Amino acid sequence: METKLLSVPFRKTDRVSLYTSLKGVIDSEFYQSSANFDKSLQEIDQLRKAAEAPSCSLESIALLKRYYVQLASLQIKFPEDSIEFPWYGTLGIRVDGPFSYRSITYERANVLYQIAAAYSLLALNVDNKHSLDGIKQSCIYLQHSAGYFELLRTRIIPQLTNVPLELRSEVLETLQLLMLAQAQEKFWFFALKSDLKNTVISKLSAQVSQFYTDSLALAKKTVCFKKDWIEHIQVKTLHFKAAAYYRCSIHSGEQEKYGEEIAYLREAEQVFNTKLPKLDGQLALEDFKMLRQTVHDRLRKAERENDLIYLQDIPKVAPLTKVSMVKSMLPEELVDLHKAINSGEYGRPLFEGLVPYSVIQVAMSYKDRVENYYVVNFKEPLQELNKKIDTLISETGVTAQIEAILKPQSIPNWVWEYKEKLEQLRWKSTLRELETELREARRDARPQLDKLWEEVRLARENDYQQRRLHASKWQLPDFDESAAECYDLLNKLETYLDQSAKGDRVIFQQIKDLKPYLKVYESAESLEEFIPKSQILDLNPDFKDVVFKLDDKVKQLKNLKNERHEFLENLKVKMSENQILMQVTEQYKKLVSQNIAVDENSMQFILDESLRKFDAELGFLTSTATIQDSDTSLIYDLYDIFKSGKRQLQGGRERETALRVLQDTMSGYLEVVENLKQGIHFYHDYMENLASARQKVCDFLNDRRLLVSNL
């Protein structure tokens, strides 16, 4: 007797061109030409095609294993999120998905699943499956299937932060136990055909039942399995438990322990009293009914004979003894992937010569740290010093006051310099473009967030309607409780958007206030008209001397800013000549050739040497700050004298005010441009966060739909 077994269906996927995808990644991220790796690109793409359409054959399994190992070698070279892989679930009533993730590990997980499924299919399609060799081979294939499900569950899935329902631990363990149950059943069938002792067959049968029992308990905790699978496993559980008692009864009868024989048969009959699911036409149920009838007939006969002839007492039977002859066969060659990659059994590792992305990241990290060193130790300190100069000039208005006295009839040079700078910066088009970009970024954010809210709202409303319609049959977790994380995420995005809207209004008002004064800079005529002339003053010689000294010191401070700008430009040139990527790449190749482990510590000296190259420039910071402190102190002293003497002068107030407005306009323009850029950057980051939220909401709703489809 051999009853029906279950095979795990292959998961489905869409076509993914690894050739095109990885080619683009190499060209954009690796600073190497993808043309050098065309053969590897073609080979990995062909292996992916094998995973897209696997078959029930050892050849297909070999290709899947090779693809799995090459994916592991791919992870050494490429970023984990290089490519998005879509996969569909097939355990339920219908195909669900796709469930797509940017993860090579996710692809590896699905490949392992395909291998496990292939072995389960192969077990049901062996040659001469009713022969002892065929039964033995089928048993081995099922143990391999269980091993791959265990490898997937224990080694790969824990590496993923989010997986579809069919790849979750409890589902995979259900499948693993189901494969073990069927493997044990095959061994039981082998023992049956080999005419082994009834006690042996009983122990094997009890273990078959135990495997099915464990599988059934887990299967009922999930919503992935079809109803007929659950019922099939339930029948198997009862069948083999009853069969174990039945075989014990035969052994007892052979030993002339007729009371014990009856006790075992009664235990078997008790199992048959369990309410059965409706499995009309199922071979498993037919076998079950046949065994039930056999037990019933034998029990009636044994009881009658014992009552009339043997008159033995009916003892209490001991619990069934179980013997497991199967185990999950973990594929050792795929557990140690480093060994598998370098064994040559699965082909040469692809993309040899491609510097791993992790090494590229180290180089980029070092480059970023050098740039950060430049910013923290040079750029920011000098900007802070320059800001103090700007604050001094802005708060005192000293430049405008001096110009109003020394050049009462002409436009000051700095005004012409500002005019030229604004023209170079194309202030009109710059403001217009940045303002437009900010408004567009802001406009795109709101509808997308509203769309997410609407999707959640519709799902919630549908859940509410279904719950009212089906009442207690709608056995899904409360929608709001399940969606708590989504609500929290969307509420945070809502808060950020509201705060940014307030900031945007401030920026737009700044632009509105600045534009009339920026237009003054458009022509010499408008400047002449805006800046009133004042009378030429006959200055006291002592006061005149103070004015000239103050003017000279202010110019010296402005010259310091120019020197610093030139210093930073030269420093940037020096940084660009520091070829960190080339140095890291050469060090990587050297270490690999010497079989030395490559890690960030083995590259640290490159960063240290790069930073030491800037030691000489640190002295400039001290000297320029000292000069500024000295000049600033003197300027404040001179300015106090200047203010005292200026009170004696008549006129020039309107001119001084106009010049100060023009000075503030320039600083205001630079500030609003920076604010616009920060606003645009905020929305770019916001859209990335919104995309992440969209994925989480999508995953939640997909999981919810899967739960509904399996009710």
- The pLDDT value given to residue 379: 92
- Residue 538 in contact with residue 699, Cβ under 8 Å? no
- Residue 574 located in a structural domain: no
Q: Is the pLDDT of residue 534 over 70?
A: no
Condensed to tens digits (0 to 9), the pLDDT of residues 310-350 reads: 899 999 998 999 999 999 998 888 888 888 888 888 988 89
Residue 189 clears pLDDT 90, i.e. is over it = yes
Together in a domain, 334 and 314: no
Report if residue 632 sits inside a domain: no
Q: Looking at residue 510, which CATH number applies to its domain? A: 1.20.140.50
CA distance 504 to 501: 5
Contacts of 244 (CB under 8 A, 6+ apart): 202, 203, 205, 206, 209, 320
- Is residue 78 located within the same domain as residue 136? yes
Quick one: average pLDDT of 528-546? Answer: 72
* Whole-number Cα distances in Å, 103 to 100, 334, 354, 509: 9, 19, 20, 45
* 651 pLDDT more than 60: no
Q: What is the DSSP string of 394-436?
A: HHH-HHHHHHHHH-SSS--HHHHHHHHHHHHTTHHHHHHHHHH
SS3 state of residue 290: helix
| CA dihedral for 301, 304, 310, 315, sign (positive or negative) | positive
Give a yes or no: residue 365 inside a domain. Answer: no
In terms of domains, do 82 and 102 share one?
Answer: yes
Which residue type, as a one-letter code, is found at position 489? L
User: What average pLDDT score do residues 41-50 get?
Assistant: 96
Residues 48, 484: Cα–Cα separation, whole Å: 38
pLDDT confidence of residue 305:
92
pTM of the model: 0.68
Verify that 136 and 222 share a domain, yes or no: no
Of 323, 343, 372, which residue is a domain's last?
A: 323
Whether pLDDT at 518 is above 70: yes
Residue 460 has pLDDT above 60, yes or no: yes
If asked whether residues 129 and 202 sit together in one domain, one would say no
In a domain, 627, yes or no: no
Q: At what angle do helices 104-123 and 38-52 cross, to 10 degrees?
A: 50
Q: Is the pLDDT of residue 539 over 70?
A: no
Last residue of a domain, one of 300, 323, 346: 323
Name the residue with higher pLDDT: 584 or 350: 350
Q: Are 488 and 530 part of one and the same domain?
A: yes
For residues 167 and 353, the model is more confident at: 167
Tens digit of pLDDT for each residue in 372-397?
A: 888 999 999 999 999 999 888 888 87
What is the predicted pLDDT for the residue at 277?
A: 64
Tell me, yes or no, whether 607 lies in a domain.
no
The pLDDT assigned to 650 comes to 56
Dump pLDDT digits (tens) for 273-318: 887 766 554 666 788 889 999 999 999 999 999 999 989 999 999 8
pLDDT tens sequence across 602-634: 677 776 777 787 888 888 999 999 999 999 999
Structural domain of residue 118, as residue ranges? 1-193+329-354
Tokens of 294: 């056999």
In the structure, what pLDDT confidence band is assigned to residue 599 with cuts at 50, 70 and 90?
A: low
Domain-embedded: residue 284: yes
Judgement on whether residues 182 and 292 belong to the same structural domain of the protein: no
Residues 642 and 629: their CA atoms lie apart, in Å, by: 20
Predicted local distance difference test score (pLDDT) of residue 390: 87
Res. 600 pLDDT band, cuts 50 70 90: low
The confidence band for 361, taking pLDDT boundaries of 50, 70 and 90, is confident
Domain boundary among 354, 369, 395: 354
User: What mean pLDDT value characterizes the chain?
Assistant: 88
What local confidence, expressed as pLDDT, does residue 535 receive?
A: 56
CATH number for 333: 1.25.40.280
Query: Do 33 and 143 share a structural domain?
Result: yes
**Residue 475: per-residue pLDDT:** 74
pLDDT band at 34, cuts 50/70/90?
Answer: very high
Same domain, 100 and 141: yes
Is there a single domain that holds both residue 182 and residue 257? Answer: no
Shared domain for 136 and 161, answered yes or no, is yes
Question: Could you give the number of structural domains in the chain?
Answer: 3
Q: Do 2 and 109 fall into the same domain? A: yes
pLDDT value at residue 46: 97
Non-local (6+) Cβ contacts of 326 within 8 A are 139, 142, 143, 146, 180, 183, 184, 187
Within a domain: 371: no
Q: Is residue 631 part of a domain?
A: no
Measured at the alpha carbon of residue 279, what is the angle toward residues 278 and 282, in degrees to the nearest 5? 165
Which residue in 196, 195, 179 sits closest to 236, CA to CA? 179
